[in-house]
Structure 1
Amino acid sequence: MRLTEVTYGSAKAIEGYGPGFFRVAGHVLRGACLITPWDAGPWGGYDDTATPLSLVDRIDVLFVGTGSSIAPVPQAFRAALEGQGIGVEIMASPTAARTYNVLLGEGRRVAVALLPVG
């Protein structure tokens, strides 16, 4: 089997995570964070719709990592984003991080909002 190395160019890929942190493009982010191909920084959690809504017309889908396991997100959060044309996909944070990286490598218009794992 032939393996092909994935390259992300200048895009911000998730390199790892652990209890309470995510490592993105060589930097450690603590707590909840929002990662896009061009930036990575803190996210205020489900009460913070302004940060992901600032991505309207720049992304098609926001993956939401709900921590160590999949959990529902508040309907108001989902409705605010979907109402502006951003698809919302819910999954556990480790799965959301991996899915983001795969689609980032394909050049897709994606971002990920992650709650930390325990």
Structure 2
Amino acid sequence: MRLNEITYNNAAPVDGYGPGFFRIGGQVFEGAVLTGPSGTIAWGGYSDTAPLLDLSEVVDVLFIGTGADLAHIPTDLRTSLESAGIGVEIMNSPAACRTYNVLLSEGRRIALALIPA
């Protein structure tokens, strides 16, 4: 088996998650978070659109983790993101974390917004 070292550039991978928290790049964040090429910050949830729209120049796809279960996001949020040229993928938070890590390791231009379980 051949093993390759993974380089994540400026973005950090999701190391773990649990009830109410995410561990990203070795640091624990309580509550909702946004992570990507600009680092990791607390996120105010679906109504906090400004930091998501600021990603339009640096990412192609935003993964939104909706908590323990898959849920719809507000239609106006999806419309705003897509109008800004950001692809949107919705999934539960554990699946979003796994998908983000895989695509991040491939050097993709992605970000991740997460609601905790």
1:57-89 Cα deviation digits (max 9, x unpaired): 100000000000101000011011001000000
Match of 1:45 in 2: 45
Match of 1:88 in 2: 88
Match of 2:67 in 1: 67
TM-score normalised over the length of structure 2: 0.94
Shift of 1:5: 4.7
Is residue 42 of structure 2 the alignment partner of residue 7 of structure 1? no
Please give the alpha-carbon distance, in whole angstroms, between the structure 2 residues aligned to 1:38 and 1:83: 21
**Would the aligned equivalents of 1:13 and 1:37 in 2 still touch at CA under 8 Å?**
no
Match of 1:114 in 2: 114
**Would the aligned equivalents of 2:65 and 2:94 in 1 still touch at CA under 8 Å?**
yes
Please give the alpha-carbon distance, in whole angstroms, between the structure 1 residues aligned to 2:29 and 2:64: 16
Q: 1:91 to 1:112 in 2, by over 3 A?
A: same
TM-score normalised over the length of structure 1: 0.93
Please give the alpha-carbon distance, in whole angstroms, between the structure 1 residues aligned to 2:5 and 2:72: 31
1:15-65 Cα deviation digits (max 9, x unpaired): 000000000111100100001034011111000110111111100000000
Shift of 1:4: 2.4
Quote the RMSD (CA, aligned, Å).
Answer: 1.2
**Would the aligned equivalents of 2:15 and 2:23 in 1 still touch at CA under 8 Å?**
yes
**Would the aligned equivalents of 1:100 and 1:112 in 2 still touch at CA under 8 Å?**
yes
Taking only the aligned residue pairs, the percentage that are identical comes to 53
Over 2 Å off, 4+ runs: 3-6, 8-11
Number of corresponding residues? 116
**Gaps (5+ residues) in structure 2?**
none
Match of 2:29 in 1: 29
Please give the alpha-carbon distance, in whole angstroms, between the structure 2 residues aligned to 1:95 and 1:85: 23
Please identify, of 84-93 and 8-17, the stretch whose mean Cα deviation from structure 2 is larger. 8-17
